[in-house]
């Protein structure tokens, strides 16, 4: 059964590839950068055409074929403006559509022990964060596909997926970096000054942030933000991270209070996890984020 599905997929790819080749042949003679894609497609098709039903098609083969097709599709999709070369796209440092990657942890998996167990860090980073990356990439590709075909019937679904997995990917990327082994203590310099100005004292701020984290309803985050409009720091709760509770803000300090962040070690004792988490905060990174983000100051209203 699976063999038949795999074989049908190969047939679909051949059909798709031939259609694209015909299209490219029609465009020949005009200024375009399809030449490279044309060669890649021809190579792929000649490989696929020797496959017949009697060949054993493995899951790995089909997955690598899907990756290859996705890559070609994206290159083709980005080729509508012939003045943008692949070299330019790659050298600009931008993340390609569907090209997000899991960032490496800036320390070992066991580095935050005893406050956060190695097993949690591994699971959280390798499984949960990876699934956000995968989900975001998929949503971006599906939205790119909608732009290509003009069929936006499922756009609400993919926009939601992009928000859910995108928030997951971006917030976790901050989360790993605002922690470090031998962290904790308190910030200094301009961030401390601003905290004192906006919350009265670091102790007041810490109490408020801790309470906010403990009282997030269900799943979500506690987030310290700089509000460029108000020129102030604020502490927000984000219940379910796909729903931004306040737009136009820049996360500085984020605390993951989804159960997967602590349950294996702390069971339902989120409070203890939150208390202990303060010992791994990387304030240098938070200050770095604050210094950059606080340059954003719009007209106050």
Q: Is 109 an interacting residue with respect to Fe ion (CB under 5 A)?
A: no
Tell me the window of 47-55, 108-116, 214-222, 258-266 that interacts with Fe ion (CB under 5 A): 258-266
Closest CB to Fe ion among residues 139, 261: 261
Tell me the window of 45-53, 198-206, 242-250, 257-265 that interacts with Fe ion (CB under 5 A): 257-265
In the bound complex, what is the minimum distance in angstroms from residue 85's beta carbon to Fe ion?
Answer: 38
Instruction: Please state at what angle helix 189-199 crosses helix 202-214, rounded to 10 degrees.
Output: 70
Tell me the window of 70-78, 261-269, 273-281, 293-301 that interacts with Fe ion (CB under 5 A): 261-269
In the bound complex, what is the minimum distance in angstroms from residue 281's beta carbon to Fe ion?
Answer: 16
Q: Is 256 an interacting residue with respect to Fe ion (CB under 5 A)?
A: yes
Would you give the binding string for Fe ion spanning residues 133-152, x where CB under 5 A is met?
--------------------
Closest CB to Fe ion among residues 73, 258: 258
Q: How many residues bind Fe ion (CB under 5 A)?
A: 3
Q: Is 158 an interacting residue with respect to Fe ion (CB under 5 A)?
A: no
Three-state SS annotation for 51-79: CCCCCCCCHHHHHHHHHHHHHHHHHHHHH
For residue 208, what are the contacts with CB-CB under 8 A and spacing of at least 6? Answer: 199, 235
- Which residue's CB comes closest to Fe ion? 256
Tell me the window of 67-75, 105-113, 134-142, 248-256 that interacts with Fe ion (CB under 5 A): 248-256
Please select the residue that binds Fe ion; options are 164, 258, 266, 290, rule is CB under 5 A.
258
Closest CB to Fe ion among residues 199, 258: 258
The answer to whether the CB of 22 falls within 8 A of the CB of 41 is: no
Judge residue 28's burial from the number of C-beta atoms within 10 Å of its C-beta, 0-12 exposed, 13-18 middle, 19 or more buried: exposed
Closest CB to Fe ion among residues 128, 138: 128
Closest CB to Fe ion among residues 13, 179: 179
In the bound complex, what is the minimum distance in angstroms from residue 221's beta carbon to Fe ion?
Answer: 8
Tell me the window of 97-105, 147-155, 183-191, 249-257 that interacts with Fe ion (CB under 5 A): 249-257
For residue 165, what are the contacts with CB-CB under 8 A and spacing of at least 6? Answer: 131, 132, 133, 134, 135, 136, 138, 139
For residue 17, what are the contacts with CB-CB under 8 A and spacing of at least 6? Answer: 41, 44, 45, 48
In the bound complex, what is the minimum distance in angstroms from residue 121's beta carbon to Fe ion?
Answer: 11
Tell me the window of 52-60, 69-77, 181-189, 259-267 that interacts with Fe ion (CB under 5 A): 259-267
In the bound complex, what is the minimum distance in angstroms from residue 162's beta carbon to Fe ion?
Answer: 18
Closest CB to Fe ion among residues 137, 238: 238
Closest CB to Fe ion among residues 6, 164: 164
The residues of the shown chain that bind Fe ion, judged by CB under 5 A, are 256, 258, 261
């Amino acid at each position: 059964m699976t063999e038949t599905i795999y074989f049908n997929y190969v047939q679909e790819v051949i059909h798709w590839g031939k259609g694209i080749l015909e299209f490219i042949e029609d465009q020949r003679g005009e200024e375009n950068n399809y030449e490279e894609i044309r060669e890649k497609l021809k190579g792929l098709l000649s490989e696929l055409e020797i496959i017949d039903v009697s060949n054993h098609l493995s899951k790995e083969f089909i997955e690598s074929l899907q990756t290859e097709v996705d890559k070609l599709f994206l290159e083709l999709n980005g080729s509508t403006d012939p003045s943008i070369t692949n070299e330019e796209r790659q050298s600009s440092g931008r993340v390609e559509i569907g090209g997000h990657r899991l960032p490496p942890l800036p320390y070992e998996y066991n580095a935050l022990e005893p406050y956060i167990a190695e097993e949690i860090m591994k699971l959280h980073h390798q499984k949960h964060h990876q699934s956000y990356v995968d989900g975001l990439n998929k949503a971006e590709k599906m939205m790119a596909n909608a732009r290509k075909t003009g069929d936006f019937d499922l756009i609400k679904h993919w926009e939601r997926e992009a928000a859910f997995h995108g928030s997951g990917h971006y917030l976790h990327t901050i989360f790993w970096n605002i922690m470090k082994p031998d962290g904790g203590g308190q910030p200094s310099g301009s961030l401390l000054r601003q905290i004192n100005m906006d919350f009265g004292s670091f102790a007041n701020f810490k109490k408020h942030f801790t309470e906010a984290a403990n009282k997030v309803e269900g799943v979500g985050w506690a987030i310290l933000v700089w509000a460029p409009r108000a020129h102030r720091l604020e502490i927000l709760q984000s219940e379910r991270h796909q729903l931004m509770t306040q737009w136009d803000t820049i996360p500085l300090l984020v605390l993951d209070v989804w159960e997967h962040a602590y349950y294996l070690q702390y069971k339902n004792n989120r409070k203890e996890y939150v208390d202990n988490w303060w010992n791994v905060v990387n304030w240098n990174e938070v200050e770095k984020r604050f210094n950059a983000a606080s340059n954003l100051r719009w007209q106050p209203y």
